[in-house]
Amino acid sequence: MKTPMLIGIAGGTGSGKSTFAEGLRALFPDDITIISYDNYYKPQDHITFEERVKTNYDCPDALDTDLLVKHLRQLCEGKSIDMPNYDFRIHTRKAELTRVSPTAVILIDGIMTFHDERLREMFDVKIYADADADERILRRLRRDVTERGRDIDGVINQYVGTVKVMHGIYVEPTKKYADIVINGGMNKTALDIVAARIASWLEK
């Protein structure tokens, strides 16, 4: 097996990163593996739930990037990895790991995907999902309430207190590293362009 094609997808919360990634996987279901950077949030079993709620999850220090880099290098070497699984309901990792085997194409999506130079250098294609801030907070609100068991006030307080500020400091500036900037996750033109690149890679 040749070295996998690595595609990084960055962008703010609720910008459509996962939607775009899933759109690509739907076109190449047997050839694409998606790795969510969110699963690499550091474990917080050593602190109370109340303290976990107050953690700033929108800065680089909250993520175990060293482990993600190690895992991606292993996948590129043809080795399988045991990926952590983060539980947003309890703000720490689950005990269970997920076995991930290398495929021809590996997508990595997350808000900090382009922040670390080691990651940027690994990507064959870098995509930044851009979206209006109002759209992003509405999508985040819907997701966190319906999928992560949050209450509306908690989501709003977190967004105003850390998410919005950290986006301007750590996420938005990384747009300059992107090869392609898309408007939201349902951008068919961008999907077709990246799909053509993937198809060419698979044919080699």
Q: Where are the domains of the chain?
A: 5-203
Contact 12, 111 (CB under 8 A): yes
All residues at 6 or more sequence positions from 67 whose CB lies less than 8 Å from its CB, including other chains: 40, 84
More confident residue, 126 or 159: 126
Q: What is the pLDDT of residue 166?
A: 86
CA nearest neighbour of 23 among 198, 202, 201: 198
More confident residue, 183 or 144: 183
- The CATH number for 5-203, chosen from 3.40.980.10, 3.40.50.300, 3.40.50.150, 2.60.40.10, is 3.40.50.300
More confident residue, 145 or 17: 17
Q: 158: pLDDT confidence band, cut at 50, 70 and 90?
A: confident
All residues at 6 or more sequence positions from 16 whose CB lies less than 8 Å from its CB, including other chains: 129, 131, 182, 184, 185, 186, 187
Whether residue 100 is predicted with pLDDT greater than 80 in this model: the reply is yes
Q: Region 135-148: what's the mean pLDDT? A: 70
Which tokens sit at 99?
Answer: 């076995």
Q: 57: pLDDT confidence band, cut at 50, 70 and 90?
A: confident
- Going by the DSSP 8-state scheme, the letter that residue 139 receives in this structure is H
CA nearest neighbour of 129 among 36, 7, 9: 9
Q: Region 65-75: what's the mean pLDDT? A: 98
More confident residue, 21 or 165: 21
